[in-house]
Structure 1
Amino acid sequence: MSTSIQPFSRPAAPPDAPGRGTKAFILGTASATCSLIVLDTNVVAVSLPAIARTFQASFADVEWVVSAYMVAFASCLLPAGGLADRLGRKRMMLAGLAVFLLASVGCGLASTATFLNVARAVKGVGAAMLLTAALAIIANTFHEGAERTRAWAVWGTCMGVTTTIAPLVGGVITQWAGWRWIFLINVPVCLMLVACVRYAMTESRNPAASRIDALGSALFGVALMLGIWALIDIPAHGWASVATGSRFGAAAVLLALFVLHERATAHAMIDLSLFRQPRFVGAVLGMFGYAACAQVMMTFLPLYLQNAFEMSAVQAGVGMLPFALAMIGGPYLGARLSSRFHGSSSVLVAGLMLIGAGNLLVAAVATHAHYGLVAVGMIVTGLGAGVMNGDTQKAIMACVPVHRTGMASGISTTTRFSAIVTAVGVLGAVLASRTERAFEAALPAGFAWRDALGADFLARVLAGDIGQAIAQAIAPLDAAARASLATKASQAFASGFGAALGVAGVVALVLGATVWSLYRAGRGPAVPIVDQQR
């Protein structure tokens, strides 16, 4: 079944008015919109310690600043793409900018950590609307040949540059204007983009767009949220608690219902028959490994640099440049590997191996308080991330027929952001657990630190707020005791960060080996894909 939405009968309604912009202007507007999303995704990490100080927030609260946005974003990508096709890409972009703008105001004016996290979730919905509409507009404007290739190259360059400068921009704004302006600065940017969209773009729709799978979207989104909720609260409740078990159990049940629903519905978001192809599964796992083991560095690395090296927000932004700059050079290495070994598998495997090696190197030196050694590991991880940044998407798209590229693109993007938010939960739990054990091991035997310092002491330390955590200790502390405690807390956090990066490194290596095996298994004839569209 296909349904098309007809334009309003009144002539020249603003959303449907013919655009007056050139193709270059349209590309610039769409790329700038996507850059805004990338900037907002990555810029907030540097400000997390400042946010924690403002709200006296725990590590779980800080994790939700990232995770609330990512969960909403990942959950809404597929349905937002369908809505853009049905209602109109230009209309969806304008609506997305409105949601994004209002949510940014909510974030900037938030009075509590809970309010901030709710606003961040709404912002994730707006970001999903913007990304899917912008990508559809680019694809609809540039149809084929060299022009289309150049358009996507420009878009990719914009994404790479934005990813590189995001930590530095976040550090500068946080230190010199305050963390709230990280969100409030989006207001004039969104207003400018609204004017550009209304001026430049012509409305477009897919007349054959299928019905939106609302139930599938809800099942997937709630399952993802419950799983992340369980992971984030593990430091507070423990792995064996009723709260943790019930959330994981509910997430598993909803995920199983999602799979059953997708197999039964005629308008599924995801064609599960794609996963019968080993090469497709390998490509999706490559994307998962890239996002979970490399892109997640953008969340935890600023906390580590500010905690372990006592860097300011600006210094932390500069300190992340080795990772970001290596990501820019990575695609050139990936291109050489692809031309030499003639296949996506070599690029994906090489990228995952570099990511794994870089993470393990950082894990090995994390407690040594030597930034140069950490920077070497960041460069290796960044190269691996750069190698995979474009090739993961290409590898997924290469496994499906042309009429399924939209769905494959949705699977790819959803996998990326689901992997990031899952990694934030898993690695955050490892970080918190290891930090607590290392801190307790550094204290005198029998010292009841929770009674002396407060039960939430380590939660504040993990949020990047060591100074305030010590200042609010229950027991009176002299200057020497404060300095000693700060050193112990900083070293414990570095130990926890090393453990988290060690897990990420091992996962990347295991996924690299798995991808290699799946591509070898997929060398034979591809499994036929049953077209489920009706």
Structure 2
Amino acid sequence: MTTSTITKPSGGASVAPSRPGLALTLVCVAMFMLMLDMTIVAVALPDIQADLHANLSDLQWVVDAYTLPLAALLLTAATLGDRFGRRRLFCAGMAIFTIGSLACALAANPLMLNTMRAVQGIGAAMLFGTAMPILGHAYPDLKARAKAIGAFGGTLAGATAVGPLLGGLIVDNAGWQWIFAINVPIGVVAFVAARVGLPESKAEKARRIDATGTALLTISLAALVFGLIRGQSEGWGSGLIVGSFALATLALVVFLIRAAHTDEPMVDLELFRRPSFVGIGVAGFVIAGTLVAATNYVGLYFVNTLGYTPFEAGLRFLPLTVTAFIAAPVVAQLGHRVPTVFTIGGSLLLVTGGLVWASRIDASSDWTALAPGFVLAGIGLGASSAVLSSAALASVEPDRAGMATGVVNTLRQVGTAAGVAAFGAVFAARTGSRMASDVAPAHLPVDQLGQLKDAVASGAGRLVSGHAPTQVRAQLTHAAVDSTAYGIHTILLIGAVIAGVATLVVVGLLARAHRAQPSG
């Protein structure tokens, strides 16, 4: 994104489009769809697992195949829109997202589903990358634009809030395929409305498209996530996994070196010399990589271990999602008057406390053991969602505003992708080892024990005991519940430690930036 993407209409025009309300509606519909497809899958994963015979790696890719292209292509999509037309790219993104959604609904195996999730992610990047520039063109008046951006932020929070509940309702009554198929009619209507009613706009001076930088970042992220997801099954010391991490590191180093020596890089590294911006970016990355990523495994736990239906599981996410939805507008109003060291630092502290509380679960726990922690973490999630983008804008001068918000949004998607992959590796390792220990007294055959470990490590929970001999069924059920609860406890506790350390770092960076500001 460039400054012109959010401050000036195209072609030197001085008047706003005749129907700014249509632009706002289309942008909000698009954002609701793409954000919903991040959160709605949390309660659908158990049914996807059962129908497509998917393992834990397959389920991780259901999330990461979507977030990876969204993270890697978001900044490039904004630049493409500036150069070739935002309406054109918005319509193309809507078409790709809609086609990808239909293909996901028709998927007959995990590979097809995850491939089409990547197609969805490409379309989502195009929609996300053009959203703010379209609003900037539609609302040249700063006061009106602020209200439109508020509606934009409310839409993101709303999609997060209703995702698990709506997903559970759809899965229970129509099947998991419809969490994707529901996008198709909405996408078709939005595409037609955008083609007919949305005025075209371009940047007066668009940035150069950094195709090499985009390729390097994509390779680095994909190799990192691949290594994290496959490391447990392939062996962390195997050539494939070591090579994946080496490729990820090499591509990232080349990306950074190139960015430092290119006139118009995909990411302006100068941003990372500013303590305030670094603090904001770390907060966005960590909250997404801990709390948001962990919800996917909690969804599996609710359905496969505690035995709730997808809709019942969605209801049990409400302490998290509703508090986030309520907190976001409240904190947004305070954000203009309260220093970011308190709003962003406080949001991380609340997420840390919420994860610590939720991590206290064990084999005897019900969902209510998670609820108080979800409330705390939800307030933190809502608070961060409300202020991160505006804080990123305030941390830089106007000519870097678009780049700053784009980088923060990219870091949040990278955090989700990396967190899902890393937590999956931890979850599989801890549940598998705990299961082996719990069922050792049963003296099961080695091959049967291996199958049980793999099933529980894939999130199957108490379902693994369904076909076991009657005499050991009760023991296996308890072992599966205990080992799964232990795996969830572990990832939530690790998330709390990471968020706690990040809180100290972020508060230090933001306090330093606050002290450096001139008084008066």
TM-score interval (norm. to shorter):
over 0.9
Q: Structure 2: how far apart are the matches of 1:373 and 1:428?
A: 22
Give 1:342-381 correspondences, 5 Å limit: 342-381=338-377
| Distance in 1 (alpha carbons) for counterparts of 2:475 and 2:278 | 50
1:80 corresponds in structure 2 to 77
User: Residue 476 of structure 2 aligns with which residue?
Assistant: 485
**Secondary structure, counterpart of 2:323 in structure 1:** helix
Aligned to 1:460: 455
Q: What is the CA–CA distance in structure 2 between the aligned matches of 1:292 and 1:333, rounded to whole Å?
A: 24
Rounded to whole Å, the distance in 2 between the matches of 1:355 and 1:144 is: 36
Which residue identity is paired with 2:499? A
Give the deviation of 1:392 after TM superposition: 1.7
| Post-superposition offset of 1:268 | 0.2
For the residue of structure 1 that corresponds to 2:308, the secondary structure is coil
Task: Provide the rounded CA distance (Å) in 2 between the counterparts of 1:21 and 1:110.
Answer: 42
CA deviation after TM superposition for structure 1 residue 505, in Å: 0.5
Deviation (angstroms), 1:464: 3.9
AA aligned opposite 1:419: G
- 2:433 corresponds in structure 1 to 437
Superposition deviation, residue 335 in structure 1: 5.4
Measure, in 2, the Cα distance between the counterparts of 1:332 and 1:296. 23
Opposite residue 503 of structure 2, the aligned amino acid is: G
Instruction: Return the match for 1:401 from 392, 397, 414.
Output: 397
Could you tell me how far 1:524 is from its partner in structure 2? 5.4
Quick check: 2:332–2:387 contact (8 Å CA) kept in 1? no
How many angstroms apart in 1 are the aligned matches of 2:333 and 2:77?
A: 36
Q: Which amino acid aligns with 2:93?
A: G
Q: Relative to structure 1, is the Cα distance of residues 107 and 482 closer, same or farther in structure 2, using a 3 angstrom cutoff?
A: same
Quote the offset at 1:337 in angstroms.
Answer: 6.6
Following superposition of structure 1 onto structure 2, how do residues 96-495 of structure 1 map, counting pairs within 5 Å? 96-331=93-328, 334=331, 338=335, 342-445=338-441, 447=443, 450-455=446-451, 457-466=452-461, 469-470=464-465, 477-495=468-486
Q: Is the 8 A contact 2:45 2:59 kept in 1?
A: yes
Taking the aligned partners of 1:165 and 1:142, their CA distance within structure 2 comes to 28
AA partner of residue 196 (structure 1): A
Preserved CA contact (<8 Å) 2:329 2:386? no
1:253-297: CA deviations, max 9, x gaps? Answer: 110000011111112011111111122211111111221122224
Superposed CA deviations along residues 400-436 of structure 1, whole A, max 9, x for unmatched, are 1101111111101100000011111111111111111
Q: Say whether the 8 Å CA contact 2:294–2:491 is kept in structure 1.
A: no
Corresponding residue of 2:50 = 53
CA deviations over 1:53-111 (Å, ceiling 9, x no partner): 11211101110111111111111101111111111111111111111111112211112
Which has the larger displacement, 408-417 or 23-32? 23-32
Q: Using the alignment, how far apart are the partners of 1:372 and 1:19 within structure 2? A: 51
**With structure 1 as the length reference, what TM-score do the two structures score?**
0.90
In the alignment, the residues of structure 1 paired with residue 364 and residue 132 of structure 2 have an alpha-carbon distance, to the nearest angstrom, of 44
Aligned mates of 2:224, 2:485 — CA distance in 1: 26
Percent identity over the alignment is: 30
Aligned amino acid, residue 514 of structure 1: V
Check conservation: 1:324, 1:382, Cα contact below 8 A: yes
Q: 1:370 to 1:470 in 2, by over 3 A?
A: closer
Q: C-alpha displacement at 1:142, in angstroms?
A: 1.1
Q: 1:467 to 1:360 in 2, by over 3 A?
A: closer
Match of 1:30 among 27, 31, 49: 27
Structure 2 contact 432–454 (Cα < 8 Å) conserved: no
Partner AA of 2:303 in structure 1: Q
Unaligned runs of 5+ in 2: 5-14
Paired residue for 1:44, among 31, 41, 46? 41
Q: Contact (CA 8 Å) 1:338, 1:346: kept in 2 or not? A: no
**Structure-2 change in CA distance of 1:501 and 1:467 (3 Å):** closer
- State the SS of the aligned residue for 1:269: coil
In 1, distance between residues paired with 2:134 and 2:362?
Answer: 44
Give the AA of the match of 1:179: W
2:502 is the counterpart of 1:511: yes
Amino acid at match of 1:432: A
Q: CA deviation at 1:462?
A: 4.0
- Tell me the amino acid that sits aligned with residue 513 of structure 1: L
Gaps of 5+ in 1: 5-17, 528-534
TM-score, normalised relative to structure 2: 0.92
* Paired position in structure 1 for 2:11: none
What code does the residue aligned with 1:482 have? R
Query: Which of 499, 502, 513 is the equivalent residue of 2:493?
Result: 502
Give how far 1:25 is off: 2.2
**Alpha-carbon shift at residue 333 of structure 1 (Å):** 5.8
Query: Match for 2:439: what amino acid?
Result: L
Whole-angstrom distance in 1 between the partners of 2:139 and 2:298: 38
Determine the C-alpha separation between the residues in 2 that align with 1:339 and 1:393.
12
Deviations 1:91-148 (A, max 9, x none): 1111111111111122111121111111111110011011112222112111233211
Kept in 1, the 8 Å contact 2:436–2:449? The answer is no
Moved more, 331-340 or 45-54: 331-340
Alpha-carbon separation, structure 2, partners of 1:510 and 1:41: 26
Tell me by how many angstroms 1:173 deviates: 1.3
Change (3 A) 1:231 1:209: same
RMSD: 2.3
Q: Which moved more, 1:83-92 or 1:143-152?
A: 143-152
Whole-Å Cα distance in 1 between the matches of residues 18 and 474 of structure 2? 60
Letter in 2 for 1:520: A
Note closer, same or farther for the CA distance 1:403–1:442 as it changes in structure 2 (3 Å cut): same
Which SS does the other structure have where 2:370 is aligned?
helix
Whether the aligned pair in 2 keeps the contact of 1:277 and 1:526 (CA below 8 Å) is no
Q: How far apart are the structure 2 equivalents of 1:31 and 1:422?
A: 27
Stretch moving more, 215-224 or 240-249: 240-249
